[in-house]
Amino acid sequence: MPPTIDIPDKICKLLFFMNETQEIDSKTKIQKMVFLLQKEHHLNLGFEFISYNYGPYSFDLTDALETLTILGLVEEHTVYFGNDDKSLFPLKQIKYKITEKGEKTAKDIERRTSFTDSEKLAIKKVISDWKDKSREEIVAYVYSKYMTEDGDLSPSM
């Protein structure tokens, strides 16, 4: 029997989310989708969000994605698409895809965690609503609904 990996709860939940979506074409999109899961569906995944460049951002979520990548459960691919005219830095988008090992681990985690059917449905709803939308669409939605004119998270957060 292969050894089991002791993974913190929020990383397990993120892996379940990644398994349901299979692939997400933007790090920003993952941030906003997880934010919406927590905010609109009251699904406590354990990630803290602050105001940042493109709205709500969680450093913990970025760390969790990095952990999943290091463990070989998720693959990260960087796609370059030109340069920023002002800074001349390359424009890039980071995509994430669940690996075969990640799929197997997610199924094992699902059997061992306390996800309710309503939590699973909430995850599937957010994926259905946002996976095929552009990064710009989800950022615009989150900004219009949850950010102040000054770019801060609404006090109702």
Q: What angle do CA 100, 120, 126 make, to 5 degrees?
A: 90
pLDDT of 1 over the 50 cut: no
Within a 13 Å sphere around the CA of 3, how many CA atoms are in the beta-carbon half? 3
Kindly state the average pLDDT of the residues 110-137.
89
pLDDT of 154 over the 50 cut: yes
pLDDT of 139 over the 70 cut: yes
Q: Long-range CB contacts (< 8 A, 24+ apart) of 50-55?
A: 50/153, 51/147, 51/151, 51/152, 51/153, 54/28, 54/139, 55/31, 55/139, 55/142, 55/143, 55/146, 55/147
Position 157 scores a pLDDT of: 47
pLDDT of 89 over the 90 cut: no
Position 115 scores a pLDDT of: 78
Position 86 scores a pLDDT of: 65
Of residues 92, 96, 76, the one with CA closest to residue 84: 92
Position 128 scores a pLDDT of: 95
Exposed (0-12), middle (13-18) or buried (19+): which is 55, by Cβ within 10 Å? buried
Instruction: Give the residue, 156 or 37, on which the prediction is more confident.
Output: 37
Q: How far apart are CA 62 and CA 68, in angstroms?
A: 10
* pTM (predicted TM-score): 0.85
Kindly state the average pLDDT of the residues 116-133.
92
pLDDT tens by residue, 43-86: 888 999 999 888 899 999 999 999 999 999 999 998 887 766 66
